[in-house]
Structure 1
Amino acid sequence: MESESFGSKVKRTTKKVIRVIIITLVIAAIGIFSFYYWGTYDEGFKSGRIISISHKGVIFKTYEGKINLETFGALKGASPIAESFDFSVEKGNDALIKDLSDAALNGEHVNLHFIKRYAAFPWRGDTKYFAVRVERLSK
């Protein structure tokens, strides 16, 4: 009965080590992707008037919006400076898209609640900011 040669033992051990390294890297990549995809960095709200809501994109159609914020300068009596905030709306949130469109068409003042994600993915939207809820305020 012949015993295994040293070379075949090394080959088997090397294959096992490489397999473990590849599996570890794949699991780490899945974990990092999940963190960036579902992780939330910030949440808050912006107040202003919705300027636009559009469904755009060539390959990935996403809903993108813009809200006009009014910020006031430090000088008393200074006119407001127009500042805008770009945001995206996740696919499937049809009620929110309708509320945002109605508020834009009526020129209503709104509080736009948003979350900020760690990364932007082209199939999700152009920005890291995603509208989650809108409060339509009376004039």
Structure 2
Amino acid sequence: MEPQTFGQKVKRTSKKVLRIIIIAVVIVGVSLFSFYYWGVYDDGVMAGKILRISKKGVAFKTFEGKINLETFGAMKGTSPIAEAFDFSVEKSDEALIKELEEVALSGERVNLYYITRYAKFPWRGDTRYFATRIERLEK
């Protein structure tokens, strides 16, 4: 067995270092993607009437909605445009989509529960706000 030269040792060590760097970059990338994709930093509720729920998109079909908060200028310095709130709905939540369509047609007042994610992805929705459930209010 021949003794290894200095150049061979450096080459083998640099391959190990490069492999470790690539593995670390992949782990950090997967971790960041997971954090931004599934992470939720806010959840809340809004009251109003659902104006619309629609399936939109060219490449990715997503469900988008709009709720009218019905403040009618009660908030100082806001315009009527700012009194509507856009949100998305997960495609897999078919029961919620159906219920949103019903209340949009009936004009009922509802409480819309939502979560806010860190980032938006085109295949998931147009907004970072996702409806999780609605509660119909008594008339």
Task: Please name the residue that 2:111 is paired with.
Answer: 111
Aligned residues: 135
Distance 2:13 2:5 in 1: 13
Q: Counterpart of 1:94 in structure 2: which amino acid?
A: E
Would the aligned equivalents of 1:63 and 1:90 in 2 still touch at CA under 8 Å? yes
SS of the residue aligned with 1:104? helix
> Closer, same or farther in 2 for the Cα pair 1:67/1:34, shift >3 Å?
same
Deviation per CA, 1:63-121, whole angstroms, max 9, x where unpaired?
A: 0000001225268xxxx956100000001101100110000000000000000000000
Q: Per-residue CA shift, 1:3-45, capped at 9, x if unaligned?
A: 1111011000000000000100100000010000000010001
Residue of structure 2 equivalent to 1:5: 5
RMSD of aligned Cα (Å): 1.6
Q: TM-score, normalised by structure 2?
A: 0.92
Q: Deviations over 1:46-79 (max 9, x none)?
A: 100000000011111000000001225268xxxx
Match of 1:51 in 2: 51
Residue 2 of structure 1 deviates from its aligned partner by 2.5
Gaps of 5+ in 1: none
Structure number with the higher strand fraction is 1
Partner of 2:36: 36
Contact 1:73 1:81 in 2 (8 A): no
Percent identity over the alignment is 63
